[in-house]
Chain A
Amino acid sequence: MTIPKILPRAGRRRGAKVVDANERSIISASDWRRRGTRGTFTVLNGVLLLVLVVFGLGPILWLAKSAITPTQDTLQSPMALFPHGVDWGIIVTAWTEVHIDVQFVNTIWVALGSWIVQIIVATTAGYALSVLKPRYAGILNGLVLATLFVPAVVLLVPLYLVIIHPPLIQTSLINTFWAVWLPAGANAFNILLVKRFFDNLPREVFEAARTEGAGPFRLFWSIVLPMSRPILGVISVFAIIAAYKDYLWPLLVLRDPSVQPLSVRLPTLQKAIELDVYLAALAIATIIPIVFFLVFQRAFLKSAGLGGAIKG
């Protein structure tokens, strides 16, 4: 139920919203016509909106305000709006002197690399397990699914030791982005989603392509990948959000501040810098995900509907 199937859709586009004549909710049209009901729900809606604005938007607006308010004002009267004016220089200090710019770029690298590794592993594995289907596919599929039952906690220490002494290559991956990128690829949920999606692609297309002489690589690159945009979108959102949010793992393997992403660096900055600059740094760290969310709102909320399933 929380792992719904994302089915390939034929040409339904954003604008073409299907109007369902049956679409209705708890309150019926006749309920709505009653004045008491309508009044109550209008008030309830208003209260709900107020609560959502205060709790959803409030803390973020406060952070934005404090990023340009001098330390003493924030300490003395945190809820006052600019009692001694605005100081844009705080953000400049955070960016140039505290070098939040380094962490900002690192964060983007971490997210980008994790995303690429996850896409490569999920698409190739999904293709092999769903379309090519070698005889041993069932066993591999079982081995992948079994890892869904193993919580990340168990892996913490042994995975850390793998990063210190990786097999085959004899150099430690500590303090390199690879230490975050590569383990991110071992995501069974991605493979599950992609495999299910590929399972639902029409087989006739593959057969047609094969009779036209397309080999497995051509089939993958020119037929399967272009058809799998919806599922790649979902996985991309998951991958980038997860990389941006992750804290404990990068904290363990990225000890050197010059490679740390924002999430790891920010807690250590707290004691080292002025409060106003620190709050500005927090605000800078929040900007990218908020902008991403506002731009790709639909994709975010759609994946959030599936989101429950990956927390396990």
Chain B
Amino acid sequence: MTTVETPPIIDLAAASAAASPQRVIVQRTRKRNFGTWVRGGGVSNLVFLLPMLVIFGAFSWYPIVQALVMSFQKTNLVTPAIFVGWDNFARVLHDPNLYVAIQNTGYFALLALIFGYPVPLVAAVLMSEVRRGKGLFSALAYLPVVVPPVVAVLLWKFFYDGRPEGVFNTILGWVGIPPQPWIQNAIEAMPSLVLEATWAAAGGTVIIYLAALTSVPPELYDAAEVDGASIWQKIWHVTLPQLRGVLIITLILQIIGTSQVFLEPFLFTGGGPANATITILLLIYRYAFQNSLGGNYGAATALSVMLALFLAALSLIYFQLTKRWSS
């Protein structure tokens, strides 16, 4: 009864409100946003986010999208880009150099594991037992990492001088080993590159292992001793299982790193002799930048995208593992 008697204008408003509640809410929130956005710090939020938005937008997000687009395009930077479907991928996959590069990169990664994986572990375990002057030991181990990588490669390139008077050949001469051709020889070139890369990187891994060794719970060693474990047994049954997480992480990181090896083959050998040291990244560089007539950017990005998918899968495993182990 009373509702009927109420003035129609109010009824109408109530009815319209009941009929379209969303509209009212939309109007309300928009009004509140507009009013409170500035007062609630919307402007200052944006000011603080601006450097990141500009830098990531221009130099990370946009190029990532662009890489995907360009891998399906033919571009020479002068005429407009044309979409060519899977042509770039087909071209890369039909390049016989690709398989040489994959093989070489795999060979580099394998040798790097053989040379470079056990050495830092052994060094770190030994160093963790040093009683006096531990700082000196870690500083010495880390020193090669501090040398700029370009300088390290150029220096070792001189060490690898193939003449009998070369630095390494002189040292080999002291112990009666005949001079080696080192990087001038297709068989010895890759191991020579890996030797330098291992020298340059091992110190960093040693420091990571040293940090991990200090976090092994001392009770475990105490418990092992109660059971009469020898030093070797303690290393085998306590230390190594406790380092398992770090060991797998450095393994994945090393594979990710060696898959992208560029500096060593580029500066030591330029991919030679006879393509014996051409790697995937070197091939990408050649596609894009080594042709004076203008690069084949499509092929270069297509190969980059394929490599990236492989690496992203590895990083995904890496992140899953770190997530599980960090607690």
Q: Which of A254-273 contact B (CB under 8 A)?
A: 262-264, 266-267, 270
Are B49 and A125 within 8 A (Cβ)? yes
Are A26 and B129 within 8 A (Cβ)? yes
Stretch of B3-11, B18-26, B37-45, B186-194 contacting A (4+ beta carbons < 8 Å) = B37-45
Q: A150-B64, A267-B267 are in contact. Are A56 and B129 (CB under 8 A)?
A: no
Q: Which of B106-141 contact A (CB under 8 A)?
A: 123, 125-131, 135-141
Are A158 and B51 within 8 A (Cβ)? no
Q: CB of A138 within 8 A of chain B? A: no
Are B63 and A167 within 8 A (Cβ)? no
Are B148 and A26 within 8 A (Cβ)? no
Q: Which residues of chain B come closer than 8 Å to A160, judged between CB atoms?
A: 288
Q: Which residues of chain A come closer than 8 Å to B253, judged between CB atoms?
A: 2, 308, 311-312
A262 to B148, CA, bound (A): 10
Q: CB of B183 within 8 A of chain A? A: no
Q: Is the interface of A mostly helix, strand, loop or mixed?
A: helix
Against B, the Cβ 8 Å flags (1 = close, 0 = not) of A1-19 are 1111000000000000000
Are B301 and A158 within 8 A (Cβ)? yes
Return the chain B residue nearest A34 by Cβ. Answer: B231
Are A78 and B170 within 8 A (Cβ)? yes
Q: CB of A205 within 8 A of chain B? A: no
Q: CB of A25 within 8 A of chain B? A: yes
Are A132 and B143 within 8 A (Cβ)? no
Return the chain A residue nearest B159 by Cβ. Answer: A59
Q: Which residues of chain B come closer than 8 Å to A227, judged between CB atoms?
A: none
Are B58 and A157 within 8 A (Cβ)? no
Q: A56-B140, A57-B143, A147-B60 are in contact. Are A25 and B128 (CB under 8 A)?
A: yes
Partner of B260, one of A153, A167, A270, A308: A153
Q: Which residues of chain B come closer than 8 Å to A159, judged between CB atoms?
A: 59, 63
Q: CB of B82 within 8 A of chain A? A: no
Q: CB of B92 within 8 A of chain A? A: no
- Nearest-CB distance from A199 to chain B (Å)? 15
Are B60 and A311 within 8 A (Cβ)? no
- Nearest-CB distance from B19 to chain A (Å)? 30
Q: A48-B123, A117-B55, A124-B48 are in contact. Are A151 and B311 (CB under 8 A)?
A: yes
Q: CB of B98 within 8 A of chain A? A: no
Are B250 and A308 within 8 A (Cβ)? yes
Q: Which residues of chain A come closer than 8 Å to B311, judged between CB atoms?
A: 151, 153
Return the chain A residue nearest B300 by Cβ. Answer: A157
Are B312 and A151 within 8 A (Cβ)? yes
Q: Which residues of chain B come closer than 8 Å to A31, judged between CB atoms?
A: 231
Partner of A247, one of B231, B263, B284: B263
Q: A245-B149, A282-B154, A286-B148 are in contact. Are A162 and B63 (CB under 8 A)?
A: yes
Q: Which residues of chain A come closer than 8 Å to B225, judged between CB atoms?
A: 28, 30
Q: CB of B326 within 8 A of chain A? A: yes
Q: Which of A279-293 contact B (CB under 8 A)?
A: 279, 282, 285-286, 289-290, 292-293
A167 to B42, CA, bound (A): 26
Return the chain B residue nearest A220 by Cβ. Answer: B48
Return the chain A residue nearest B45 by Cβ. Answer: A134
Are B260 and A151 within 8 A (Cβ)? yes
Q: Which residues of chain A come closer than 8 Å to B139, judged between CB atoms?
A: 293-294, 297, 301
Partner of A125, one of B51, B207, B221: B51
- Nearest-CB distance from A198 to chain B (Å)? 12
User: What are 27 inter-chain pairs, A to B, with CB distance below 8 A?
Assistant: A26-B128, A41-B129, A48-B123, A48-B127, A48-B130, A48-B137, A59-B159, A125-B52, A128-B52, A129-B49, A132-B45, A134-B41, A147-B56, A147-B60, A150-B60, A153-B284, A154-B301, A167-B58, A188-B60, A216-B44, A282-B155, A293-B143, A297-B135, A301-B142, A304-B204, A305-B210, A311-B257
9 further A-B pairs in the complex, CB-CB below 8 A; given A2-B249, A25-B128, A307-B207: A2-B208, A55-B199, A78-B161, A78-B170, A157-B67, A157-B297, A162-B63, A217-B44, A305-B210
